[in-house]
Amino acid sequence: MKDEWSHTSVNFTEKNKVKKYTAGSILKVKAIKYTANGSPRMQLEDGNYYTGHRINVLQTIGTAAKYYTVNPKIVVALKDEWSHTSVNFTEKNKVKKYTAGSILKVKAIKYTANGSPRMQLEDGNYYTGHRINVLQTIGTAAKYYTVNPKIVVALKDEWSHTSVNFTEKNKVKKYTAGSILKVKAIKYTANGSPRMQLEDGNYYTGHRINVLQTIGTAAKYYTVNPKIVVALKDEWSHTSVNFTEKNKVKKYTAGSILKVKAIKYTANGSPRMQLEDGNYYTGHRINVLQTIGTAAKYYTVNPKIVVALKDEWSHTSVNFTEKNKVKKYTAGSILKVKAIKYTANGSPRMQLEDGNYYTGHRINVLQTIGTAAKYYTVNPKIVVALKDEWSHTSVNFTEKNKVKKYTAGSILKVKAIKYTANGSPRMQLEDGNYYTGHRINVLQTIGTAAKYYTVNPKKVKVLKEDWSHKSVDFTGKNRVEKYKVGSILKVKRIVYTSNGSPRMELSNGRFYTGHKTNVVKYN
């Protein structure tokens, strides 16, 4: 009950002191002996003598060594057990059930009438002090996991060890922040420091500054900051890690690029991505995908139809190599896009309708209109106007920015193909102004088109003998009639070959050259 010395004689003196026993020490008594004046002494098993005064010692049970008899100050429950209002434990005086892993602060060691040790807790109630039920632990135990969290996420880089006693020599594996660890059990060092035993049998710190209990499906979430992600589904951001209808902030549509500031967790360990604006977004891999830093330069939302701005190959795989090239698309080609897919490192790829893959970089392709195939998307160089139409100072055609009206049959030289913000193709003429590239309005023609009649002359006079033909494609076989110099021909209209060569269709349905060295307009 108190600190006291044993002695070599029943007559206690300073000189014959042998060993100091601290309060709570368990002593085995061999016999009771007496001094000459009849003072009782306990003879211990080692033959030395100890006071038998009841203020100093208390008879205890034979298994007392299995209990804490010295106040451990702080213990961790190893099993589920109840506290009681009395040292004499009964069903009726149960107070509170402590589950395994609970941290208990101990006020004092008390005893039953038969000497069974009890721990008196800070609230005054009593708890078993049996070492099979409780273990003395460190003062900071509350900062550790003492109940098996099953699954934790590493908050910092840290090593696992082959022993609960961590040293440089017994390091096994370094887990980086964000790693998911499965915990087999909680174990303790000799001084009561908690350790997590991992599934592989090695040990890891259970300090809450290093690890956080997380959900069983944590591996399906980003627990390492991905920095940049692309939304795979429409989803809302929230003002709190606890997502509710009320704290919704902004809806991000599939394909949106989000910059991630940090990974945060709910009270139950569900991972959340904190965005750059401070709001929170799901980190579930079914909703978001880590992508490349330049993702904003790619199409991440399916553009449906794109026009190639440069020559480029399609591939059989999202991982582009020389070996898996399939088809070369030249600048101006129209491509139909089935879906957006990603490489393992998050690089966006466009999956075409034929199942092959193509770059989605905006420097290579441009989203265009659904009717793009009806426009010139490859520079035709020279076109003939099929209808009267205006040129404009901007790709965005308005009444105010009209410049010049070109009548049907006009020959226009094209400098480049440009696009509106919504992807409508425009022809930029040599003077810098813009003109419609719709094939109903213009037709690519030959470089010498200006030497032909492209506007119907109505009547022409033959300057050189030549044949009329059954088709616009002149051959020896489809000749019909030879017209002599001076013949007057009535022209029904101007038509073109597939390569844009102008032909005059005569009133009799036959076709004749419209070259100005062969015919001249006749009034």
Residue-wise pLDDT tens digits, 395-423: 999 999 999 999 999 999 999 999 999 99
Any idea which residue has 């908690």 for tokens? 194
* Neighbouring C-beta atoms of residue 190, cutoff 10 Å: 8
- As a whole number of angstroms, the distance between CA 109 and CA 295 comes to 66
Q: How would you label 466-483 residue by residue, b for 16+ Cβ within 10 Å and e otherwise?
A: bbbbeebebeeeeeeeeb
- As a whole number of angstroms, the distance between CA 110 and CA 215 comes to 42
Domains of the chain in sequence order = 4-57 (no CATH), 65-136 (2.30.30), 143-213 (2.30.30), 220-290 (2.30.30.40), 297-367 (2.30.30.40), 373-444 (2.30.30), 450-521 (2.30.30)
- As a whole number of angstroms, the distance between CA 319 and CA 332 comes to 24
- As a whole number of angstroms, the distance between CA 514 and CA 361 comes to 46
- As a whole number of angstroms, the distance between CA 235 and CA 252 comes to 5
Q: How far apart are the first and last CA of the chain?
A: 137
Element (H, E) at 70: none
Residues 6+ apart with CB under 8 A from 196: 145, 148, 149, 152, 181, 183, 185, 186, 187, 203, 204, 205, 206, 211
Give me 65's structure tokens. 């060594």
Give me 264's structure tokens. 């945060």
Residues 6+ apart with CB under 8 A from 233: 254, 286, 287
Give me 293's structure tokens. 């830093």
For 47, 100, 101, 147, the CA distances from 152, given in Å and listed in that order, are 55, 18, 16, 12
In angstroms, what is the C-alpha Rg of the chain? 47
141 within 8 A of 74, measured Cβ to Cβ: yes
Residues 6+ apart with CB under 8 A from 250: 236, 237, 279
Closest to 288 (Cα-Cα) out of 253, 250, 244: 253
pLDDT value of residue 43: 97
pLDDT value of residue 1: 77
* Neighbouring C-beta atoms of residue 330, cutoff 10 Å: 10
Give me 430's structure tokens. 């040599």
405 within 8 A of 390, measured Cβ to Cβ: yes
Q: Provide the greatest CA pair distance for the chain.
A: 167
353 within 8 A of 395, measured Cβ to Cβ: no
pLDDT value of residue 5: 97
Task: Compute the half-sphere exposure of residue 101: CA atoms within 13 Å on the CB side of its CA.
Answer: 13
Virtual torsion, Cα 347, 351, 355, 356, nearest 10 deg: -60
The parts of the chain modelled with pLDDT lower than 50 are: none
366 within 8 A of 309, measured Cβ to Cβ: yes
Residues 6+ apart with CB under 8 A from 206: 144, 145, 146, 186, 194, 195, 196
Task: Determine whether 504 is exposed, middle or buried from the number of CB atoms within 10 Å of its CB (0-12, 13-18, 19+).
Answer: buried
Closest to 81 (Cα-Cα) out of 118, 37, 108: 118
